[in-house]
Homo-oligomer: A and B are copies of this chain.
Amino acid sequence: MEYAIGADIGGTKIQVAAVDREGCVICRHLVPTEAHLGPGQVMEKVLTGVELTLSRLPGDAGIAGIGIGSAGQIDFASGTVAFAGDQLPGWTGTSIKSRVEERFGLPAYVDNDVNVVAVAEQLYGAGRGLDSFLCVALGTGIGGAIVEAGRIVRGAQGCAGELGHVSVDFNGPRCDNCGNNGCVELYASGSGIARLGRELIAESAEPPVWRPDSREIAQAWLRGDPQAARVMDVAIRALAAAIAGYIHMCNPQAVIVGGGVSETGPSFLEALDREVRVRTSPSVRSAYRLLPAYVGNDAGVIGAAAQVWLYSDGQ
């Protein structure tokens, strides 16, 4: 049996696993990132995780390579971190690929965490058989990954896919992260929904039954709470406007949505899909489907590992 090792490096946890060609995971290894310890310690945790995973595999297992997904902006060609923010302090500049290849003598592939999720969806999930789709990762912020002509779009510096910083109101509040006004992340991410919730609380004579937390607000919305509906209506319309703009720009076959409030149930995706369809021309609307992310919690390690199969096969 042949395996690829996948490692998913996030701001709070590092997950390492062995994954086979069909995307089945064995030998999971999970540790807290403890990013405050600095990039050297984080790198050591990754290397130790890979070592432990390799040691647990049966003696006759073949290892095709090591794939890594990391938070931040990654230069795929060199496998180094082009930019990482507060989530992973000091991580910018780390040569992940060369460190891993030196230590294990195996080919390594490094991309950002949302791009590897798109790889997982393309090989095993909602993107199977599709040439062009957008992956939307709804979390504290909003991430994105673009597949076009079957390949991840990385852009000039590996920074492509930042759906969160698409403006949906050029007169809207200024985004501290990028300088644009009215970034969709300010309305439809976990922190954006919480922000809208706080605004509603400040304006309301009667305080809502929920705290300004995106999951609480989404749950209240599902129960029919009218104040939560006011917040979620803004979030859904803003996200739909950004997705509709992307559909007009790139005319994809699908938009795959995962993470955060999208996991509260199908109502969210149904409402989002309705709003996207209202906001798109028939010519681009007919090709497009809104799909829930399929691969789930292990998508990070599965996609990280899947890079080995995808790129060592000559793509």
Q: A284's closest neighbor in chain B, by CB?
A: B159
Assess whether A162 is in contact with B238, with CB atoms less than 8 Å apart. no
| A36 sits at the interface (CB 8 A) | no
| A155 sits at the interface (CB 8 A) | yes
Quick one: which of B132, B151, B159, B281 contacts A251, CB cutoff 8 A? B159
| A167 sits at the interface (CB 8 A) | yes
Residues of A in contact, count (CB < 8 Å): 58
Q: Which of A6-14, A59-67, A117-125, A178-186 contacts B (4 or more CB under 8 A)?
A: A178-186
Assess whether B279 is in contact with A179, with CB atoms less than 8 Å apart. yes
| Identical copies of this chain, number | 2
CB distance from A256 to the nearest CB of B (A): 14
Contacts of A163 in B (CB 8 A): 248-249
Q: A73's closest neighbor in chain B, by CB?
A: B283
Interfacial residues of chain A within 124-156, with CB under 8 A of chain B in the complex: 131-132, 144, 146, 148-149, 151, 153-156
Q: Given A180-B280, A242-B167, A281-B178, do A155 and B73 touch, yes or no (CB 8 Å)? A: no
Interfacial residues of chain A within 14-66, with CB under 8 A of chain B in the complex: none
| A271 sits at the interface (CB 8 A) | no
Q: Given A160-B251, A249-B146, A251-B160, do A179 and B284 touch, yes or no (CB 8 Å)? A: no
How far is B164's CA from A172's CA once the two chains are assembled, in angstroms? 20
| A88 sits at the interface (CB 8 A) | no
Quick one: which of B154, B179, B250, B253 contacts A153, CB cutoff 8 A? B250
Contacts of A168 in B (CB 8 A): 167-170
Contacts of A149 in B (CB 8 A): 149, 151, 153
Q: A168's closest neighbor in chain B, by CB?
A: B170
Quick one: which of B159, B249, B280 contacts A161, CB cutoff 8 A? B249
| A309 sits at the interface (CB 8 A) | no
Q: A133's closest neighbor in chain B, by CB?
A: B156
| A258 sits at the interface (CB 8 A) | no
CB distance from A59 to the nearest CB of B (A): 42
Interfacial residues of chain A within 230-277, with CB under 8 A of chain B in the complex: 237-238, 240-242, 244-246, 248-253
How far is B148's CA from A164's CA once the two chains are assembled, in angstroms? 20
Q: Given A241-B167, A245-B166, do A283 and B157 touch, yes or no (CB 8 Å)? A: yes
Q: Other CB < 8 Å A-B pairs besides A82-B283, A161-B249, 9 of them?
A: A156-B251, A156-B284, A157-B251, A160-B249, A162-B284, A166-B249, A167-B242, A171-B237, A180-B244
Q: Can you identify 22 A-B contacts, CB atoms within 8 angstroms?
A: A131-B156, A148-B148, A153-B250, A155-B252, A158-B251, A160-B250, A162-B251, A163-B248, A165-B245, A165-B248, A166-B248, A166-B249, A167-B244, A169-B169, A170-B240, A171-B237, A177-B281, A178-B279, A179-B279, A180-B241, A180-B244, A180-B279
